[in-house]
Amino acid sequence: MYRIILKLNLYKIMSKIKFYLFTDSEKDHRIIRFREESVKKNIDFQIVNLYKIVIQDNQIVDNEGNVLKIKKNDITWILANVSTGHIVSKFLKDRNIQVWPNFEAVAFADKFITNSFFSSIQVPTPKTVFINSYHMDDVIKAIGGFPCIIKKNISTVGKYVEIVKSEKEVLEFIKNTFEIASKNILPNNRISFMLQEFVKEAKGTDYRVLCLDGKILGVIKRTAKSGFKSNISLGGTAKQIRLPEKIKKYTKKILKKGDIFYAGIDFIKKGNDYLAIEVNTSAQFKGFEQATNINVAEKIINKLIEKKLNN
């Protein structure tokens, strides 16, 4: 009887919680999963399109003219364009509303800043240099020459990442990226680039460690369909593997030093060691759920509810 009463009380409490999901794409698979798990728990779920809101004074107004009345007990999660998401995150933080990923975690969207963070805490990572000049002799030399990887500092799902074999290809990549950006009428992230050591032996394989509130949920090995990009969204495959001890050690250090609530942390193998390459604090989890049968959406919502109830 006591358990039934407790469950009913919890159900009533959750009915008073609203889940605001800020996104720049309403086709994102995570929206479906968060909605499914919210319905199961009697939580009111609302999608907020970041390109259809007005932020002014002390309020956020949606495209129908409704003021979003976000309360401290509500859940606020951002799946978004870094520039716009960063603004919303800061806006809510300044009004004492907790948002995930938190304002500080958004910095990990910049791949160069992430690489610098890895180096600062002695976690192995590929040699990486920031491109701040078109005179690249010293830059290329610093990472061991061609071929190497060029990346737009802020990008997702394998976009704007290529192998380059000459300075000409580097300049073409930069030119093409700016041309694409100039045709985009929606807000763009600031554009900058980095070059990174190409680890040939990785052979289009990486390891995604999914983490939540300081704990490791699991690890999947992702393999590219072709080429070197192993992103599942680009056709890569995934399978659950046993967590290598070195990856576990590095992941724990990254989580602690970075104060990260939720993330997908990516590694590649080099020799007998692993190199950290990315921290995605808004990580996709469709492929992870399919490969592991772990209900990530439920775990995230449960953890957020726990934090709300303990506040």
The per-residue pLDDT for 8 is 43
The domains of the chain, with CATH numbers, are 2-99 (3.40.50.20), 103-125+201-295 (3.30.470.20), 127-198 (3.30.1490.20)
Among 186-190, 247-251, 294-298, the minimum mean pLDDT is found in 186-190
- pTM for this prediction: 0.88
SS3 readout for the chain: CHHHHHHHHHHHHHHCCEEEEEECCCCCHHHHHHHHHHHHCCCEEEEEEHHHCEEECCEEECCCCCECCCCCCCEEEEECCHHHHHHHHHHHHCCCCCCECCCHHHHHHCHHHHHHHHHHCCCCCCCEEECCCCCCHHHHHHCCCCCEEEEECCCCCCCCEEEECCHHHHHHHHHHHHHHHHCCCCCCCCCCEEEEECCHHHCCEEEEEEEECCEEEEEEEEECCCCCCCCHHHCCEEEECCCCHHHHHHHHHHHHHHCCCEEEEEEEEECCEEEEEEEECCCCCHHHHHHHCCCHHHHHHHHHHHHHHHC
Question: Sorting pLDDT into bands at 50, 70 and 90, what band is 307?
Answer: confident
pLDDT, tens digit, 9 for 90 and up, residues 13-72: 555 799 999 998 888 899 999 999 999 999 999 999 988 999 988 899 988 889 999 998
